[in-house]
Amino acid sequence: MVTPIDPTAVGFLLAENRSMPMHVGGLALYKKPEGAGRNYVRDLFQQMRSAEEIAPLFLRHPHRSARTAGQLVWEDDEQFDIDHHLRHSALPKPGRVRELLELCSRLHSTRLAWDRPLWETHVIEGLSDGRVAMYSKLHHALVDGVSAMRLLAAIHSSDPDERDMPAPWAVRPRPPRQAQPETETNLADVSMQALRTAMGITAEAAGMPGALIRTLTKSIRNETSALSLYAPRTILNQQITGSRRFAAQDWPIERMRAIGKATSTTINDVVIAMCSGAMRAYLLELNALPETSLVSMVPIGLNAKSSQIASAEGGNAVGSIMVKMGTDLPDPAARLRSVHASMKAGKEALSSMTQVQILAMSALGQAPAILPVMLKMGGITKPPYNLIISNVPGPRTTQYFNGAQLMGNYPLSIPIHGMALNITCTSYDGMMCFGLTGCRRTVPHLQKLLTYLDDELLALEKAAGV
> Of the candidates 13, 14, 19, 450, which one interacts with a second copy according to CB under 8 A?
19
Instruction: Tell me how far, at minimum, the Cβ of 371 lies from a second copy, in Å.
Output: 24
Instruction: Tell me how far, at minimum, the Cβ of 59 lies from a second copy, in Å.
Output: 15
Q: Report yes or no: 224 and 349 within 8 Å, Cβ to Cβ.
A: yes
Interaction between residue 66 and a second copy (CB under 8 A)? no
Closer of 86 and 170 to a second copy (Cβ): 86
Q: Which stretch binds a second copy (CB under 8 A): 87-95, 194-202, 206-214, 224-232?
A: 87-95
**In Å, how far are 170, 266, 332, 336 from 461, measured between CA atoms?**
45, 14, 10, 11
Secondary structure letter of residue 215 according to DSSP: H
Interaction between residue 447 and a second copy (CB under 8 A)? no
Instruction: Tell me how far, at minimum, the Cβ of 87 lies from a second copy, in Å.
Output: 7
Beta strands per DSSP E along 113-161 = 119-125, 132-139
> Of the candidates 49, 88, 196, 233, which one interacts with a second copy according to CB under 8 A?
88
Interaction between residue 185 and a second copy (CB under 8 A)? no
Q: Which amino acid is at 405?
A: Q
The site that binds a second copy (CB under 8 A) totals a number of residues, namely 33
User: Can you tell me the distance from the alpha carbon of 414 to that of 247, in angstroms, rounded to the nearest whole number?
Assistant: 13
Q: Which stretch binds a second copy (CB under 8 A): 86-94, 162-170, 248-256, 267-275?
A: 86-94
User: 75, 47, 48: which is closest to 61 by C-alpha?
Assistant: 75
Interaction between residue 87 and a second copy (CB under 8 A)? yes
> Of the candidates 56, 176, 207, 242, which one interacts with a second copy according to CB under 8 A?
242
Catalytic site residue from 122, 139, 140, 156: 140
Interaction between residue 81 and a second copy (CB under 8 A)? yes
For 334, residues 6+ apart whose C-beta sits below 8 A from its C-beta are 326
C-alpha angle 401/144/444, rounded to 5°? 90
Q: First CA to last CA across the chain, in angstroms? A: 59
Interaction between residue 111 and a second copy (CB under 8 A)? yes
User: Can you tell me the distance from the alpha carbon of 107 to that of 419, in angstroms, rounded to the nearest whole number?
Assistant: 20
**In Å, how far are 214, 314, 320 from 353, measured between CA atoms?**
15, 20, 12
User: Can you tell me the distance from the alpha carbon of 364 to that of 131, in angstroms, rounded to the nearest whole number?
Assistant: 37
Interaction between residue 344 and a second copy (CB under 8 A)? no
Instruction: Tell me how far, at minimum, the Cβ of 322 lies from a second copy, in Å.
Output: 31
Q: Which stretch binds a second copy (CB under 8 A): 12-20, 179-187, 372-380, 424-432?
A: 12-20
**In Å, how far are 145, 149, 264, 423 from 430, measured between CA atoms?**
22, 17, 20, 19
Interaction between residue 117 and a second copy (CB under 8 A)? no
Interaction between residue 356 and a second copy (CB under 8 A)? no
Beta strand pairing call for 23-31 and 404-412: antiparallel
Interaction between residue 37 and a second copy (CB under 8 A)? no
> Of the candidates 31, 84, 257, 344, which one interacts with a second copy according to CB under 8 A?
84
Closer of 38 and 376 to a second copy (Cβ): 38
Which residues, numbered 294-323, are part of the site for a second copy (CB under 8 A)? none
Interaction between residue 261 and a second copy (CB under 8 A)? no
Q: Report yes or no: 25 and 109 within 8 Å, Cβ to Cβ.
A: no
Interaction between residue 17 and a second copy (CB under 8 A)? yes
Closer of 17 and 222 to a second copy (Cβ): 17
Paired strand residues for 411:
26
User: Can you tell me the distance from the alpha carbon of 339 to that of 295, in angstroms, rounded to the nearest whole number?
Assistant: 10
Interaction between residue 443 and a second copy (CB under 8 A)? no
User: 88, 49, 96, 453: which is closest to 278 by C-alpha?
Assistant: 453
- Binding string to a second copy for residues 222 to 241, with x set by CB under 8 A, is what? -------------------x
Q: Which stretch binds a second copy (CB under 8 A): 34-42, 171-179, 335-343, 400-408?
A: 34-42
3-class SS string, 2-30:
EEECCHHHHHHHHHCECCECCEEEEEEEE
Does the annotation count 140 as an active-site position? yes
Closer of 83 and 291 to a second copy (Cβ): 83
Interaction between residue 70 and a second copy (CB under 8 A)? no
How many CB atoms within 10 Å of residue 8? 24
Interaction between residue 47 and a second copy (CB under 8 A)? no
Q: Which stretch binds a second copy (CB under 8 A): 78-86, 214-222, 266-274, 369-377?
A: 78-86
User: Can you tell me the distance from the alpha carbon of 256 to that of 271, in angstroms, rounded to the nearest whole number?
Assistant: 7
Please give the residue ranges that form the binding site for a second copy (CB under 8 A): 17-19, 38, 41-42, 45, 79, 81, 83-84, 87-94, 106, 109-111, 113, 115-116, 125-126, 241-243, 440-441
Residues annotated as part of the active site: 140
